Every structure is written in C-alpha cells, then in structure tokens.
Amino acid sequence: MKCTCIDLNQFSRFIKDMKALLVDKVYVVNVLGYCAYNFVLGAYSYWGPKAGYKIYNMSDADLIFGGITIVCGILGTLAGGYVLDLMKSTIPNAFKLLSVTTFFGAIFCFTAFCFQNMYAFLAFFSVGELLVFAIQGPVNYICLHCVNPSLRPLSMAISTVSIHIFGDVPSSPLVGVLQDAINNWRETSLILTSILFPAAGIWFTGIFLHSVDRFNEDSEGQVTEVDRSNATPLLEPRVAETSLIC
C-alpha cells in the first residue's frame, strides 16, 4: 500500500511537471523548431551520401559527407556558443541566433543542391552545414534557462525524446517515400532542405515571446512529500545498535 501510494505521488508529480513544460510557450516554440530542424538533419545523415552519389557521381560520398558533418559540426557548435556569449546570453538573443543561422544555413544548403558542379555544391553545402550546426548551443541554452531549476532534467529529456520521435526517426522513411514518388534526388533534396525555413520561422517567433531567465532561481527548500516519505534517518540504525550493545 505504501509503495503504491509513493508511485502514485511520483506519477502525479511527473504529470504536474509535464504540464508546466507544455504551458511554457518559450519551451514549446524552442522544441518545435528543434524538431523541424532535426527532421532535415536526420534525413541528411541517412540519405545524403546516396543523394550525392546519384546527383554528382561522388565516388566516396560516405567519406565526403561524413567529413563535412564532423568538421562543420565541431566548428559550428563551438562558434554558436561563442557568438551567443558575445551577444550577451539571453533567451531572446538565443532565438535571434537560432533563426538567423538556420535561415542563412538553409539558403546555402538549398543553393548548393541547385549547382551542377560538384565542387560548387561542396563549398556551399559546407558553409550551410557550418551555419546550421551553430544552433546546438543556443537551443540547449533556452531549454535550461526558460524553466525552473527543478525542471531542467525533464526539460532536456523531453527535448531529446521529441526531436527523435518527431524529427530524425520519421524523416528517413518519409523522404524515401517522397523519392519513390518523384524519382529525382535533386528535387527530393531541395524539398527536404526547404523544411529548414519553417524551422527558422518558428524560432523567429520566439523572439517576441515574453521570456524569463530562471537559471539562477533558488530551488532549495522544494522538498515534496514523496521526498520526505523516501527519506530514511541516517542515525536511526546506529541509535538502535548502540542501545543493544549497552
């Protein structure tokens, strides 16, 4: 009975925390944009080499796309966090950086697939990937700073689960269905890349939302009844043991 009561209390607390996240407009907008962004990146990672081989006859498409992803991923992630620090780290500034880098990254990636020359494609696609990967720092900054300190672990967990369930997991099979329908890898790649524009638009709307940075809020003293019921006095066993010895 006691275990059942504790489980019900924990479940009700989880539901309460989930409700707090879902009613937070800043958090929801941030995750929605992240899902659209990850939809494109997931399909790039799966279909990118094959598209490059079919469109530009790349002999080492796997190595080329893998190298671009590694280099641009590292440099873009570091650059995104550094630029956000230079801009003064705030939630509105993070949304500005998200929308701008995603928008211009989408332009470069979209333009890259329009070129007939492989080297022009690689140059523009690399710049686009560099810009697109710059979102990693700002998007996680918002997830951590827009919620109460006690909700930070759940905030990151729900964000990660959401971008996979609604992003890279369905994107690969859906792009495969699209390619089977139109049978043109260039058009398929252009349609996929265009989804980055709505992602930039979603993050752009976040600039105008009322946001409060809760990162430095004090979370001490927030002990629930569940925590109290699970707490076992550390001195109790020793006191009993001492009395037996006496």
Mean pLDDT of 132-150: 94
Q: Give yes or no for residue 222 having a pLDDT over 90.
A: no
Helix H, strand E, coil C: the string for 87-153 is: CCCCHHHHHHHHHHHHHHHHHHHHHHCCCCCHHHHHHHHHHHHHHHHHHHHHHHHHHHHCCCHHHHH
What letter represents residue 216's amino acid?
N
Rounded-to-integer distance, Cα 24 and Cα 209, Å: 10
What are the pLDDT digits (tens) for 14-39? Answer: 899 999 999 999 999 999 999 999 99
Q: Give yes or no for residue 95 having a pLDDT over 90.
A: yes
Burial class (CB in 10 A: 0-12, 13-18, 19+), 54: middle
Mean pLDDT of 27-52: 94
CATH class of 24-207: mainly alpha
pLDDT given at position 55:
92
Comparing 67-81, 133-147, 157-171, 216-230, the range with the smallest average pLDDT is 216-230
Among residues 159, 130, 129, 128, which one has the least CA distance to residue 142? 159
> How does residue 60 score in pLDDT terms, banded at 50, 70 and 90?
confident
Structure-model confidence comparison of residues 148 and 2, the more confident one: 148
Per the listing, tokens 């279909």 go with 47
Q: Kindly report the average pLDDT of the chain as a whole number.
A: 87
